[in-house]
Amino acid sequence: MTQARGLFTSTGNVSRQTTARKKDDFYPTPPEATAALMAAEAKDIRHHAPWVIWEPCVGNGAMAEVIRNMGFTVIGSDLHTRWPETENFIQRDIFDWEARPADAVITNPPFNLMSKRDGTAPFFTHLMQLGVPYIAMLLGAQWPYAQNRKWLHDTMPMSRIYPIRWRLQWSEGKNPPQSHNWVVWDRNHHGPTELHFLDKP
């Protein structure tokens, strides 16, 4: 699998930008987006990972700190050291992991590793190869509807989609706010994909 050195950090999934993208696609996730997901999903997450969650695009820890405040331990990894946490941080490319460090992943993945023009999503498929049973990703609002990703949905159907009912601001206001969904893949889920809306906490 092609490596993605230098691109393995949190990204705002900004598709229509007016300024150049930041180095390594580094866009810390607004804390209210993570807080809204955790309020809706904490019970389901605990079925898989009672205490530990892996954030593989930890960046400066913006998402990890919200998750820790909910009582979970967070293992953070990334290509670069930006998170002040040292005990639970591992500097490593996503594609260098051969075994998962936790059974639940919550992350805001690099846009280019989830939205390739050929329909592939190497970031997600590598997590599937690691056998992660619970994955929650912050993705652009249109991500679930791309026809060239039908193969992915047929292979691993989405369990729950959470449209965020406010737009997230990236790049210190230099780009327009963007619409997003949280998308959850949960191996304990049975039945069709569920749709639940999230309000700003």
Residue in the structure block whose two tokens are 């569920």: 194
90 in a structural domain: yes
159 in a structural domain: yes
- Contact, 178 vs 124, CB < 8 A? no
pTM for the full model? 0.86
Name the domain count of the chain: 1
Token pair, residue 198, equals: 């999230």
Q: Provide the residue range defining the domain that includes 183.
A: 26-195
21 in a structural domain: no
CA distances in angstroms from 18 to 136, 166, 176, listed in the order given: 28, 20, 8
67 in a structural domain: yes
Please report, for the domain that includes residue 185, its CATH number: 3.40.50.150
51 in a structural domain: yes
15 in a structural domain: no
Q: Tell me how far apart the alpha carbons of residues 173 and 84 are, in angstroms, rounded to a whole number.
A: 25
pLDDT in tens, the chain (201 residues): 333 333 333 444 444 444 555 555 677 999 999 999 999 999 999 988 788 999 999 999 999 999 999 999 999 999 998 888 888 999 999 999 999 999 999 999 998 899 888 889 999 999 999 999 999 999 999 999 989 999 999 999 999 999 999 999 986 666 789 999 999 999 999 999 999 999 999
1 in a structural domain: no
